[in-house]
Structure 1
Amino acid sequence: MNDPNPARPTSIDQILRRPEDETGSSNSVRLNRLAQEIASQYRKDSISPDLMRGVMLLCELSLLLASGLVIYAFYVGHPSPIWLYYLASIGTASLGAVILFEGAGAYQIGTLLRPSTVVRAVTFIWSGVFALVALAGFFLKVTEELSRFWLGSWYLTGLALLLVFRFVMSRVLRKWARDGRMERRAVIIGGGKPAEVLIRSLEQQPYNDIRICGLFDDRDDTRSPPLVAGYPKLGTVDELIEFARIAQIDMMIVCLPLTAETRVLQLLKKLWVLPVDIRLSAHSNQLRFRPRAYSFIGSVPMLDIFDKPINDWDSVAKRVFDILFSLLGLLAFSPVMIATAIAIKLDSKGPVFFRQKRHGFNNEVIEVWKFRSMFHDQADQMAAQAVTRGDPRVTRVGRFIRKTSIDELPQFFNALAGSLSLVGPRPHAVSGHSRSRLFSEVVDGYFARHRVKPGVTGWAQINGWRGEIDNDDKIRMRTEFDLQYIENWSIWFDLKILFLTPIRLFNTENAY
């Protein structure tokens, strides 16, 4: 597990979090009509090609396992003296085959789109795996009991399933790529000749999965033309932040020379709060680094500046984690929730639940569910006035459920629906403020905490930063712990936070 203990930020993070670097709210600028139209076209998320590669691997593994087991069940049927060898052969051969397919590059997007290029490799690997199974049977002296019909049938069936599945899926994947359902969406930051050279290089890559949505540049049209290689300039870098709040963008490619260090840093100071991969194009730079310093789109080199946190298979694992533990939480706490609902109804007039607008992933406004803890006619939908000790708006039952955090239990439903995660930065009210200033005006890089889904509980809360925010240091410390969580995320870290939460809730000093 990554070390979740507070660590000093790296040097680039220190630069990005200086007070003068605050980007401000995404509502501070408005997009032009063309940018709004293009952003709305990309509002729906796409399937990550990397995620699709993993899905194909799992599907082929499942096909091989299922075919081997089905043929064994129907032909061998009765308990065999070497049934354990059959099961071991099915498991190791299936797993070994897909591992070798991966090593041979059979799950690269270009290969999946052109399955004919790997027919020979797939056949050779699958045949080699079976030769090893037979050889193992010979050395284990089980070949006399081993069914030749099962072995031959599984070999032919497995090979046929692999090839048919690949040819069918290649048609599906091509259609998804044409329809924009499977792609990586990118915007180019910069303009002029360097951007044109970069775009032409990307377009020349075979089986390119990058869809360029447009360009953004702070320079005016005299220095940066409004149209580059057929792609429009959609606005400034400040407008790009608003664009990325609407469109589902995967990558931002900064097309500036490394020698323009000051300008590159100014751009990064604005963009690092967004949940996207940020790459610095290195295709035309004079500086040369070792190959390990680069990532590549085809053969076009990029320098990795920031990666989108909790992406691809990590996001799948976290979603499964949320669903599983949310269901367990609802099952475990259902008696408490039922008793709380009855107590609220008996204590004061009004609904049992309270819904409040809060900031979610990528600054989206979400509706968070809680048990109502205030008198209905005094409920504060916009959190304009923070709850303080002895607040007269809070009911008798409300004081207890707020102290014990029972009022937060309905957020298990938010986690099931997907607007919240079980663990993450706590969602703050849209107009949340410290004294007379909005949180985003107090904390540098505040919106960076929205690069992941907010959570029912979080690293800041179990470290004591919960309850009333009555001074600027409290929201600063919350944000600092939230960013530490994002930078050090793992499933094990989530488990640690989840199981520490009930223990740390005994400290009710700041909960009113």
Structure 2
Amino acid sequence: MTTLDLPAQTAQAKQSEQRSTSAARLKLPLAASLEHRRLQCYMMLILLDVLMIIVAMLGASEAQYGMTPASQLRQLALLVPFYVIAALAFNAYSLSALTSSRFSRHRAFASLLAAFTMLIFIAFFAKVSDQISRVSTGASFLACAITLILARTAVQPLIRKMCGPTAQNVLILDDGGLPVRIPHAWHIDARQHRLVPNRNDPHMLDRLAMFMTNMDRVLVSCPPERQMEWAMVLKGANITGELIDETVVAMGVLGARRVNDTGSLVVSAGPLGMRGRAAKRAMDLAIAGSAVMFLAPLLLTVALLVYLEDRGPIFFKQQRQGRNNRLFWIYKFRSMRVAQLDSAGARSASKDDDRITRIGRLIRRTSIDELPQLLNVLRGDMSIVGPRPHALGSLAGTKRFWEVDPRYNQRHSLKPGLTGLAQVRGFRGATDTEADLSGRLQADLEYLDGWTIWRDVQIMFATFTVLIHDRAF
């Protein structure tokens, strides 16, 4: 371990150093290496998982039979390697498993489920499935799941003690760039400690190396003109080095790509891959098709009431912007008088809006006016769950929606939906101020980030709790 006494660069810094000598004296390396500790934890988890599976399987057999049959031992001999293989594939032994107890438990359970599935699959094709007891297999799976989850939960404090809260050593070098604070990281002022990216000075490179020793990540925050020098230094430091760049956040950069001699920043990508789009479309067709048939009596009744009120058209059509920024016609049951329809959507409906008919007030309050959009879902213009499409002339205060926040058009990377995360959180009704748009936009962007079909299901169930609401007018 090396101790450096680092002189100040200015008189003011020198006075500050005299007031706090601990800030000027550093023991290098800054931290002990965590690489071997992480490896020890991974090995500990593997051994713990294997031990828990063995104990659970043998315990279940003893409880059921009073002994362990040879067939159970053969299953156990197959299950253990199957589990380890699945756990490696599902990242049950990863950095996230060391830092998150919930992630660790979930991946262990998923690995166990995959291992039992492989075991049953092998037994079926080996034509020995008749030798496997369903009750015994179910009891063994349940016992293994419980012991694995309990063991993973119990060992988490020990892992945290061995590796710390992040299981990584992170160093942030502040060289006059964007201020960055990361919890549990080392923050070093490069100017205070006279650290410069001088590749022509072997002694300076040695000093930088001492600061970086045992670090898993090094982040440098510096002005653009010094980024190239820092990049060259980091490349020769045998370390994961990163440069802080404020444009990454401003442009929403997703990653970088280099092809031959051309580099580019990836700033956009479809939020769903092919399998995700297929699953979402299949769910849309199944739900919308079933809903149309089930709700046919209600739809016909409402259509008749809308027509009888003033003999006007049943449906109200309006252009909205959908996926890929393409315009489409959205369908609703007409709730306003024919002469006062607002096709552009320039005026939001208000609580005492004189344009709304008697039946219109009822179907708007109960969200029944939105049901014809099931036809939009069947046509492929919309989805059951997604960001709600807004009228082209909608205003938040005195501005168009896209003028309030430049991120607004990101909503159009997915099909608009009958319901969405913003709606179940209560962001509905008129947007009289710019603040009225902010909450729903943030919810829509959150929905786009990390889509899963299970979240769609949760939103659909949550929608039933907000079908009748006081902001529907």
TM-score using structure 2 length: 0.48
